[in-house]
Amino acid sequence: MAALTDLTIAQAGAGLDKGEFTARELTDAYLGAMEAARGLNAYIEETPERAQAMADASDARRAAGNSAGALDGVPLAIKDLFCTEGALSTAGSHILDGFRPTYESTVTQNLWDAGAVMLGKVNMDEFAMGSANITSHYGPTLNPWKASSGDNAGKDLVPGGSSGGSASAVAARIAAGATGTDTGGSIRQPGAFCGIVGLKPTYGRCSRWGVIAFASSLDQAGPLARTVEDSALMLEAMVSYDPKDSTSVDLPVPNYAAALTGDIRGLRVGVPAEYRMDGTPPEIEALWQRGVDWLRDAGAEIVDISLPHTKYALPAYYIVAPAEASSNLARYDGMRYGLRVDGEDLTETYERTRAEGFGHEVKRRVMIGTYVLSAGYYDAYYLKAQRVRTRIADDFRAAWDSCDVILTPTTPSAAFALGEKQDDPIAMYLNDIFTVPASMAGLPAISVPAGLSSDGLPLGLHLIAPAFGEETLLRAAGVLESAAGFTAQP
């Protein structure tokens, strides 16, 4: 039999149902694997006792014939942006040192209600700002993959970010699945870099309550998992209508796994001209074309579409997201949670706390954000960016007249080496060139592992669907996954 940690969530659930192993055995296998893989620095805090207690409770439920469903007894990693009661919740920041919330985020509570087991809290870029998991106060997380050739052969690679700990843990088989959050690409890009599936749901589908805020009009929780089916199973448990989040949407929760029919005959797949950007490496273009061929061969109709404002998405994002972040992060003043560095008076205490508590990237965003919101520049930057955002959403709305999903690459490159792009924020921001437009429009999107780069590293293909079109998204992703037949492992 395969190692327990090699099983997908669906396979683990089936094995638990058949009594082939217990949730406790499965959990202990993960706890052992986590210990052996500590060099990846994927976990900020492991919670083995809680995991074992949750696993025992799951076994007791199954023994009594009361299984809570597909996730009952399945061990998961939780991004450190989610508040988890009594467990460290730091957003990867020094300023939240020692913060142990007295409450549980809605999404994680939903997962525990579905019987899932918490293995621990995973590393991330500080306040989810980044694309390489290098801005964490807890140090970088490594990608379990290594390049087999090329300039980066044998070097330590980044897992992508900001949900780098989540993606690394799932790829390294030290979690069966993980929660992530995506503001501009932070589930999909690390998913692609680590050779796993990353799904960002429609804005409003998962509650943001108890998720430490970065940019509230963009933040969305979602699953990282090894298969499309696993993503569907996790998503179904994570989604709920939550009156505690005013942007939560009250719609029925579909059986997402049932959407994986494998049948996309007649589905119209849009290929946006504006995503053919100068400087995109030929192997990314080639992978994209293979994706088009796979979907066409499966019976989809390929449609050329235009999303004219695509090139403005990234610049507009880097105004809107920092603006919201500067406001959201104003609460970290040393008075309520985490770090406090005392000064001579109150003002100096604020200043010292924030100076020591925030890292460089967070400070850069706070400064950009306060600048674009300041009286003299508000119209020129913030308001203009909001107008651009509306245009981007309009582009997609028009596109849905002629297509049902949109296919693009997930990232312009495979995972890069630790240390690369570190001193060049613009190069780092360009990682999200293909993922940010869907974020600006609030649309659901998914990255599916689709092939290997010439250096032997995973590459992803990206599908975008209309708002609340997760079922169509998953159906198309399932077909892409089967066609790609990606079985490589780190």
List the catalytic residues: 79, 162, 186
Residue 44, C-beta contacts closer than 8 angstroms, at least 6 positions apart: 80, 88, 90, 92, 120, 121, 122, 123, 136, 138, 165
Q: How many residues of this chain bind ligand GLN (CB under 6 A)? A: 13
Applying CB under 6 A, which of residues 182, 236, 242, 245 lies at the interface with ligand GLN? Answer: 182
Give, in degrees to the nearest 5, the angle at Cα 207 between 201 and 211. Answer: 105
> What dihedral angle (degrees, nearest 10) is formed by the CA atoms of 106, 187, 229, 276?
140
Phi and psi for 462 in degrees, rounded to 5? -125, 130
Cα separation, 287 vs 410, in Å, equals 11
Please give the DSSP secondary-structure letter assigned to residue 414: S
Cα separation, 204 vs 220, in Å, equals 7
CB of 210 to ligand GLN, least distance (A): 17
The smaller minimum CB distance to ligand GLN, of residues 183 and 240, is found at 183
Site for ligand GLN in 197-226 (CB under 6 A): 214
Phi and psi for 50 in degrees, rounded to 5? -60, -40
CB of 165 to ligand GLN, least distance (A): 13
- Candidates 183-191, 270-278, 339-347, 474-482 — which segment interacts with ligand GLN by CB under 6 A? 183-191
- Candidates 71-79, 180-188, 268-276, 384-392 — which segment interacts with ligand GLN by CB under 6 A? 180-188
CB of 83 to ligand GLN, least distance (A): 17
- Candidates 57-65, 93-101, 126-134, 285-293 — which segment interacts with ligand GLN by CB under 6 A? 126-134
CB of 160 to ligand GLN, least distance (A): 9
Site for ligand GLN in 128-167 (CB under 6 A): 128-131, 162
End-to-end CA, the chain: 20
The smaller minimum CB distance to ligand GLN, of residues 185 and 272, is found at 185
Site for ligand GLN in 315-374 (CB under 6 A): 321
The smaller minimum CB distance to ligand GLN, of residues 47 and 131, is found at 131
Q: Is 186 in the site for ligand GLN (CB under 6 A)?
A: yes
Q: Is 92 in the site for ligand GLN (CB under 6 A)?
A: no
Write down the H helix ranges in 37-96: 48-63
- Candidates 10-18, 29-37, 178-186, 473-481 — which segment interacts with ligand GLN by CB under 6 A? 178-186
Site for ligand GLN in 408-437 (CB under 6 A): 432
The smaller minimum CB distance to ligand GLN, of residues 10 and 385, is found at 385
- Candidates 123-131, 273-281, 381-389, 463-471 — which segment interacts with ligand GLN by CB under 6 A? 123-131
Phi and psi for 466 in degrees, rounded to 5? -60, 160
Please give the DSSP secondary-structure letter assigned to residue 183: S
Q: Is 185 in the site for ligand GLN (CB under 6 A)?
A: yes
The smaller minimum CB distance to ligand GLN, of residues 328 and 353, is found at 328
CB of 180 to ligand GLN, least distance (A): 9
Tell me the DSSP string of 334-350: SSSSS-----SSHHHHH
CB of 128 to ligand GLN, least distance (A): 4
Which string of x and - marks every residue 282-321 that binds ligand GLN (by CB under 6 A)?
---------------------------------------x
Applying CB under 6 A, which of residues 183, 227, 353, 453 lies at the interface with ligand GLN? Answer: 183
The smaller minimum CB distance to ligand GLN, of residues 130 and 478, is found at 130
Helices (H) and strands (E) in the chain, counts: 15, 11
CB of 281 to ligand GLN, least distance (A): 19
CB of 365 to ligand GLN, least distance (A): 8
The smaller minimum CB distance to ligand GLN, of residues 322 and 338, is found at 322
Cβ neighbour number for residue 398 with a 10 Å cutoff: 13
CB of 364 to ligand GLN, least distance (A): 10
Q: How far is CA 144 from CA 161, 194, 224, 456, in A?
A: 14, 7, 15, 13
Cα separation, 205 vs 9, in Å, equals 22
- Candidates 63-71, 182-190, 261-269, 388-396 — which segment interacts with ligand GLN by CB under 6 A? 182-190
Sheet of 301-305: strand order equals: 43-46, 117-122, 75-79, 177-182, 220-225, 197-200, 445-452, 458-464, 405-409, 268-272, 301-305
Choose among 30, 23, 83: nearest CA to 53.
23
Residue of minimal Cβ distance to ligand GLN: 186
Residue 326, C-beta contacts closer than 8 angstroms, at least 6 positions apart: 365, 366, 367, 368, 369, 370, 373
Q: How far is CA 254 from CA 237, 403, 474, in A?
A: 10, 22, 12
The smaller minimum CB distance to ligand GLN, of residues 101 and 322, is found at 322
Choose among 110, 90, 437: nearest CA to 245.
110
Residues that bind ligand GLN (CB under 6 A): 128-131, 162, 182-186, 214, 321, 432
